[in-house]
Amino acid sequence: MNAVSDIANITGAVDEARLGTLVGDLAAFGARPDGGVDRQALTPEDFKSRRFLVDLARSYGAQAYRDSIGNLFFRRPGQDADAAPVVTGSHADSQPTGGRLDGAYGVCAGLEVLAALADSGVAHRRPIEVAVWTNEEGCRFAPGSMGASAFTEPSLLDGFLATADTTGRTVGEELAEADPLFADVPLRPLGTPVHAFVETHIEQGPVMADAGVTIGVVRGIQGTRWYEITVDGIAAHAGSTPRANRQDALRAATEIATGVYAAFDAGDERLRMTIGRLTVGPGSVNVVPEQVRMTVDVRHPEEAVLDAVEERLRELTAAHAGRARLERTMAMPPTGFDGRIRDTVREAARDLKLSAMEIDSGAFHDSLHLARHCPTGMIFVPSVDGLSHNPAEHTALSDLAAGTRVLAASLIRLAQN
Amino acid sequence: MNAVSDIANITGAVDEARLGTLVGDLAAFGARPDGGVDRQALTPEDFKSRRFLVDLARSYGAQAYRDSIGNLFFRRPGQDADAAPVVTGSHADSQPTGGRLDGAYGVCAGLEVLAALADSGVAHRRPIEVAVWTNEEGCRFAPGSMGASAFTEPSLLDGFLATADTTGRTVGEELAEADPLFADVPLRPLGTPVHAFVETHIEQGPVMADAGVTIGVVRGIQGTRWYEITVDGIAAHAGSTPRANRQDALRAATEIATGVYAAFDAGDERLRMTIGRLTVGPGSVNVVPEQVRMTVDVRHPEEAVLDAVEERLRELTAAHAGRARLERTMAMPPTGFDGRIRDTVREAARDLKLSAMEIDSGAFHDSLHLARHCPTGMIFVPSVDGLSHNPAEHTALSDLAAGTRVLAASLIRLAQN
């Protein structure tokens, strides 16, 4: 077996047209009139799309498995039946106002690799699997990435199964109700060994499109911290309360927000700071605001920078001592991806003569959890205008195919070890 | 008849304890568990309170009338039966989170004057009437001051009767349904001649309490303009969108708000500027804001100042050309009260040895509309902590009685002319 020709064979067998058809077929489940997709986790549309994927994977000669959180695995056996598999994949659920690619692209790319493997007959020592992780988006059932996190940390399962949506339906109830639809798909335990995990995904930001680069070698996922700042004032009549008698919560909040934006400007290119939500109480045109609550989303690949920004936020709220308070509501440390996987992806792009750049992921992904379980990496392709979680989400088909070829080459390299 | 002794007799007959009892009795209609009042216009509680007031006024020898918008008039005849009456009064409806005094005090003060007139037997040339104006607050049926404005501008009546609350009930339906309760109260036309109108009211601001003054001689009602500023941005992922690629609507709105507060600081003591409502779309912690809408409430007694502030608001939005726009949603010009009424009130306070100050009203009142119909003025008493539209609204009973004595003296002076 010649590794170089194997890689040429498998990447040559990736079929851009077939990939485009699959993306379109998958987008038909939960299609929105505006061209987007509404396929929230564990809805009938989500289950129907999973059944479609099971049948498609089998048509490429793969074995289908599932686990107790509803993750699917499409396995192409390797020459060494007992070796831990090399796994790719992503999620098939979407936001209610989702596009055709967020998550779905990573699943479609994996299936296209299975098709190309079937067509080319390229052999590999380790099994290659495509995973479809349950409920990455977290919009119907919070938190997101339930499938990937329960897989890597099975003790989370019971809590996830009991999680209800706003109508009171639980994850466990939905999975049980859909069980007959997957009766022919054998169950596997959570947390099975994985040799390596590689996920393809759209960037969901404008960086690669702006740079004119096709392949993103993802360094890792930024650390994220969420804060809520509450500012108290005293409600008063807008007409009868002089300036000196006011304790205007929105005025104080505006000063704090100005400081937040200044801290954003003072940071490096990789810093992200967003005040996404701001509510004013009582919120009446002629009442001086009594309370403001606002969120701050801070991201950076370095924990030390996140610490420094948090210190600055504390100073900004302390400047309104007794009236403003800062609460950290979430902290997700930065995740660095495995150096060997990154090298593999970079070399695959180079061999395929594709432009590539190192990039940090600003969004969360299933890979964030897999990275705690096995060597993990991600391949990004550009998002037109950086749009995502939006029906207008788009990536050129040629870029989707390029990412799939890099994935195919990377999986084969990893599966030969 | 000796005018000086008449005034001494009538002010001497004002009974602080009786006034306090009446304020408490009226507050029982729609009483809230927190001590406040929820007696929104044309609700059963509002009608019950009006019936109570009719019966009380008759017990003081007054004649009761009503008109087609539901205003009530309690008339004590004068020696000259055909002379236009001197009228006092205010409104009996409240905000849902109202206190015991906003509006109610002006009605109670008028009734206490009727009681004092009955007790003292002081005669007066002109009739003296106490008006209870319908729906001043405007919280259930917009706009406010329906009763006073339909009285002074009867062409508004049909539109007001057709106005519905959020459940679809109209003003006309409520008045018709309550009609049997007032079958014994004769109807009078709208817009009858009034010689002079004097309204007592709590200040609803902290100025008099801060100054330690008992009587406010109200110069007029500030002009008010309402604006809505809309700022557009582009929704984007908080994690994956670099600073340079953002068009953050809240960041631009924060810059505009900072300019609004600076303009407020640069104005004179009488300027009021309030950003009372600010909403962020989509308002998600991890999405860069797409749109902000915020209101600006601007008040000043001089039209030229309002014009200058509006020009400044235009400059602030123009600095974000194409992304921010300013819309004026309401303009109420300043209203100056009649000089003769102000003199009468000031002299009454002086004769009673009460501290007094000139003050502008920052809030709207029924008097704003009466001022278009007849010579009009207002008497303010202090609001503890400036609170109003709040269950904790409070004024010392001694101040309520002092305002009632000034009212009694003013009404007698005006009714002798």
Which residue in B235, B242, B280 is closest to A277 by CB distance?
B280
> Would you call the peptide bond into A186 cis, given omega within 30 degrees of 0 as the criterion?
no
**Contact (CB<8Å) A243/B264:** yes
Q: With DSSP H G I counted as helix, E B as strand and the rest as coil, what are the percentages for chain B, rounded to 5? A: 40, 25, 40
User: Which positions ≥6 away from A346 have C-beta within 8 Å?
Assistant: A217, A356
CA B19 – CA B32 distance, rounded (Å): 21
* Predicted pLDDT of residue A49: 98
The DSSP output letter for B98 is B
Query: Among candidates A258, A256, A287, A260, which has minimal Cα distance to A271?
Result: A260
Transcribe A121-141 into DSSP letters.
Answer: ----SS-EEEEEES--S-SSS
Handedness of CA B30, B31, B32, B36 (dihedral sign): positive
CB contact under 8 A, B242 and A206: yes
**CA nearest B410: which of B181, B196, B137, B223?**
B196
All residues at 6 or more sequence positions from B405 whose CB lies less than 8 Å from its CB, including other chains? B11, B14, B348, B352, B354
Are A363 and B278 an interchain contact pair (Cβ–Cβ within 8 Å)?
A: no
Query: How much is the pLDDT for B2?
Result: 61
CB contact under 8 A, A272 and B236: no
Per-residue pLDDT, A1: 46
Cis peptide before B301 (omega within 30 of 0): no
| List of chain B residues whose C-beta atoms are within 8 Å of the C-beta of residue A243 | 264-265, 269, 271-272
B239, B269, B275 ranked by CB distance to A299: nearest:
B239
- Cα separations in angstroms, A253 against A81, A200, A245, B273: 61, 40, 17, 16
Mean pLDDT of all residues in chain A? 96
Cis peptide bond upstream of B334, omega within 30: no
CATH fold of A223-332, please? Alpha-Beta Plaits (3.30.70)
Whole-angstrom Cα distance, residue A240 to residue B74? 30
Radius of gyration of chain A from its Cα atoms, rounded to whole angstroms: 24
pLDDT value at residue A321: 86
Distance CA A264, CA A273 (A): 6
Kindly give the pairing relationship between strand B86-91 and strand B128-133.
Answer: parallel
**Partner B, chain A 275-304, Cβ-Cβ below 8 Å:** 275-280, 283-289, 295, 297, 299
DSSP A68: T
Distances (CA, A) of B322 to A276, B232, B235, B371: 22, 8, 16, 42
- Beta-bridge partners for A336: A220
Which 8-state DSSP code applies to residue A164? B
The pLDDT tens digits for A125-180 are 999 999 999 999 998 998 899 999 999 999 999 999 999 998 999 999 999 999 99
Give one DSSP letter per residue of B321-342, joined into a string. Answer: TTTEEEEEEEEE--EEPPHHHH
- Nearest CB to A275; choose among B235, B250, B276: B250
Structure tokens at A386: 């950086």
Q: For domain B3-221+334-415, give the CATH number.
A: 3.40.630.10
Question: In this structure, which long-range contacts are made by residues B307-314, counting pairs with CB atoms below 8 Å and at least 24 apart in sequence?
Answer: B309/B225, B309/B263, B309/B267, B309/B271, B309/B273, B310/B225, B310/B227, B312/B259, B312/B263, B313/B227, B313/B229, B313/B260, B313/B263
Tell me the ipTM for this assembly: 0.86
Identical fold at A3-221+334-416 and A223-332? Answer: no
Which chain A residue lies closest to B221 (C-alpha atoms)? Answer: A239
How far A359 CA sits from the closest chain B CA (Å)?
10
CATH number of A3-221+334-416: 3.40.630.10
B330-383 pLDDT, tens digit each: 999 999 999 999 999 999 999 999 999 999 999 999 999 999 999 999 999 999
Q: Does B210 touch chain A (CB under 8 A)?
A: yes
pLDDT confidence of residue A2: 60
Q: What is the pLDDT along chain B (417 residues), one digit of tens a residue?
A: 467 889 999 999 999 999 999 999 999 999 999 999 999 999 999 999 999 999 999 999 999 999 999 999 999 999 998 999 999 999 999 988 899 999 999 999 999 999 999 999 999 999 999 999 999 999 899 889 999 999 999 999 999 999 999 899 999 999 999 999 999 999 999 999 999 999 999 999 999 999 999 999 999 999 999 999 999 999 888 999 999 999 999 999 999 999 999 999 999 999 999 999 999 998 889 889 999 999 999 999 999 999 999 999 999 999 998 999 999 999 999 999 999 999 999 999 999 999 999 999 999 999 999 999 999 999 999 999 988 888 889 999 999 999 999 999 999 999 998
Domain boundaries, chain A: 3-221+334-416, 223-332
B124: which 2 tokens?
A: 């007066």
Distance from C-alpha of A46 to C-alpha of A31, rounded to nearest angstrom: 11
Q: Does A63 touch chain B (CB under 8 A)?
A: no
Going by the DSSP 8-state scheme, the letter that residue B295 receives in this structure is E
- Predicted local confidence at residue B112, as pLDDT: 98
Q: In terms of CATH architecture, what is B224-332? A: 2-Layer Sandwich (3.30)
Average pLDDT for runs of 10 along chain A of length 417: 81 97 98 95 98 98 98 97 96 93 98 98 96 95 94 97 95 98 98 98 95 97 96 92 95 98 97 97 91 97 97 98 94 96 98 97 95 98 90 95 98 94
Say if CB A105 and CB A202 are below 8 A apart.
yes
Q: Report the distance separating Cα B163 and Cα B157, nearest Å.
A: 10
Sort out which chain B residues have CB atoms less than 8 A from A361's CB and list them.
239-240
Q: Which residues in chain B have Cβ-Cβ distances shorter than 8 Å to A241?
A: 205-206, 272, 362, 386
